[in-house]
Structure 1
Amino acid sequence: MTDPASPFPAFERFVEQHGLLANPKGILAAKLPRILGQGQTRAVGLDMSPALIERQQELVSLNLPDTLRPTPDVQREIDEAQHAIDRHIDQMRHQDNRRRFALEVLHRLEGVQTGVKDNQFFAGRLVLVGDKSGQNWAWSMTPHYPVIAKIPADVEYVLSAHAAADRIIKDGTLPVQEFLDKLMLAWLMARHFSQSDDVLIADVARLFKIASQDERFFGTPARRNFSDVPDATFITNLINWRRNREPGKRELFELVPATLNQAHGSKSRAYFVPSNAEGTAVRPMIYLRRVAD
């Protein structure tokens, strides 16, 4: 039965009348559920149904079988969806509108310090980053390392994504000593492939995903035993370690600052570490160097 609150009631009736959900194949199997509000948003790491703008995008890009032609009322909904998308794109391409969008998100967040610093929008320890089109947003650790990405330009979705990103950060933050143990393993693996003891932090971050696996994986290294570790987990724990170091205790590692060319060259492998509490300002680092005994 057609949902009276559906944005596409004529299309839903069309789908029912032609039994398109009975045995969908190919592109129909992927697109129809999303148009009807089923499945998940394209935002990475966010467990929500598709946003309205995503449903509209799927509808206008849907290619029906040659034997089916949209009825006039269905075509009207497709045209209206296209107009809504065009208006949305035109609105968000203006910097002032993207700024207003971000400020509305910050204004509606509760229980967390928000603001604008270094021309970046922050909420707690997360930075809100939009792409140049304003169509996709991310909550990131610093502007460089997304926790949840590809969030549609929908205030409610960005708000929900902040709570989800905060949970990911909390769940992924290890006790400092446990992190250092895993960091040592990641560094040793990266050192194996390095030409010197100056090991790229970017390589250590990549191999930290392996070092973070539990005993199940190391006992039986198979895909089924591999747990997904979000990309931002490494920078999260790196920040936590640097902020909670014991005064006077000898460090196992030091971060080596990147040169200007290492930080901004065409083949830069720099890793950007926050230089303030909000994560809006960063310093480019290049190597993770083990401190001599």
Structure 2
Amino acid sequence: MSDTADAQLFPELERYVEKNGLLANAKGILAARLPRILGQGKTRAEGLDLPPAAIERQQELLALSLPEDATKDPGVRREMEAAQRAVDEHADHMRHPENRRRFALQVLRQLEGVTTGNKDNHFFADRFVLVPDKSGLSWSWSMTPHYAMISKIPADVEYVVRAYEASERIVEKWTMPVDRFLDRLSLAWGMARHFNEDENVLIADVARLFKVAVQDDRFWNSPARRNFEDVPEAVFIINLINWRRNRDSASGPNFELVPATLNQAHGSKSRAFFVPGNTEGTIVRPMIYIRRVGK
């Protein structure tokens, strides 16, 4: 793994900070960013419990306005210049598609006991798709290329591998028995229908309200932000997939998904929801509405 909290990536900066008591007296942006530069706190990857990666610390250093006398310190200035070179070289390397392909393959090779490959122009590992942003500097493990389990992962192989393991834990935690999912789905659908102007309820609206519907009794007994548990974006699609695979055994209410038209799926204001069309999730089928069938 790249340098993390226990590695002295910026010894001259640390010397300066300690000498001048900068960390103890920091305020505002300096107080928020300086600990991360020194390897404290967590990576920006959402859902990943690791210290910030070396490249994240270097990026933070370059984005931070240090006191003028700090930038005049020869040692600190050398570290800032080295960070600038490292960030520029990293960005230049990852912007090339072939280098992004090699990076993805490095990640997949380290996932022992997992079915991996490239299909439909997407890299996958078991049920997850590995998705880079356009720059290749940030990666996600997603259910289909659209719904992230863990996003904003730095382009560091070990971090992406660890994020895969964390994604598996999210699936294990949030996959519900089918009957419970249908109960929560019915609640989310009812809320979406209440706010809807016509009979057609968008799946995207139901997915958004599903984060509320799955809250536990603590929230419903006292609806407050402190009692609201953040739910990963992909939880709805996790359970939708599980329901579609096991709906014959379900005893709750029934729902059907309505396919999107070409314009609904790809127009500039598309609200389509993309359901996996194969096991790996590399093929998707755009759906638009969800209808409750029967009572």
Count, aligned residues:
291
> 1:43 touches 1:148 (CA, 8 Å); kept in 2?
yes
Q: Does 1:189 align with 2:191?
A: yes
Are positions 1:267 and 2:273 aligned together? no
Deviation at 1:169, TM superposition (A): 1.1
Task: Give 1:169's aligned residue.
Answer: 171
The answer to whether structure 1 residue 87 and structure 2 residue 115 are counterparts is no
Distance across 2 between alignment mates of 1:147 and 1:197: 31
Task: Give, in angstroms, the shift of residue 147 of structure 1.
Answer: 0.8
Read off the aligned partner of 1:197 and give its amino acid letter: E
Q: Who is 2:39 aligned against?
A: 37
Instruction: Determine if contact 2:178/2:250 at 8 Å carries over to the other structure.
Output: no
Quote the Cα distance in structure 2 between the aligned partners of 1:206 and 1:189: 10
The answer for unaligned runs of 5 or more in structure 1 is none
Over the matched positions of the two proteins, sequence identity in percent amounts to 67
Comparing 189-198 with 269-278, greater Cα deviation is found at 189-198
The answer for unaligned runs of 5 or more in structure 2 is none
Deviation at 1:66, TM superposition (A): 3.6
Report 1:224-263 matches (<5 A): 224-246=226-248, 252-263=254-265
How well do the aligned residues superpose, as a CA RMSD in angstroms?
Answer: 1.8
Greater than 3 Å deviation, 4+ residue runs = 66-70, 247-251
Alpha-carbon distance between aligned partners in 1 of 2:10 and 2:212, rounded to the nearest angstrom? 45
CA deviation after TM superposition for structure 1 residue 11, in Å: 1.3
Aligned to 1:277: 279
Matched residue type, 2:53: A
1:114 counterpart (116, 119, 130): 116
- Whole-Å separation in 2 of the counterparts to 1:192 and 1:14: 59
**2:62 corresponds to which letter in structure 1?**
V
Aligned to 1:144: 146
Rounded to whole Å, the distance in 2 between the matches of 1:250 and 1:224 is 31
Q: Structure 1 residue 214: deviation in Å?
A: 1.5
Compute the TM-score of the two structures, normalised by the length of structure 1. Answer: 0.95
The answer on 1:13 being equivalent to 2:15 is: yes
- The answer for the alignment partner of 1:54 in structure 2 is 56
Identify the match of residue 208 of structure 1 among 204, 207, 210: 210
SS of match in other structure, 1:244: helix
- Classify the secondary structure of the residue corresponding to 1:267: coil
Shift of 1:187: 0.7
Query: Which region of structure 1 is more displaced relative to structure 2, 66-75 or 114-123?
Result: 66-75
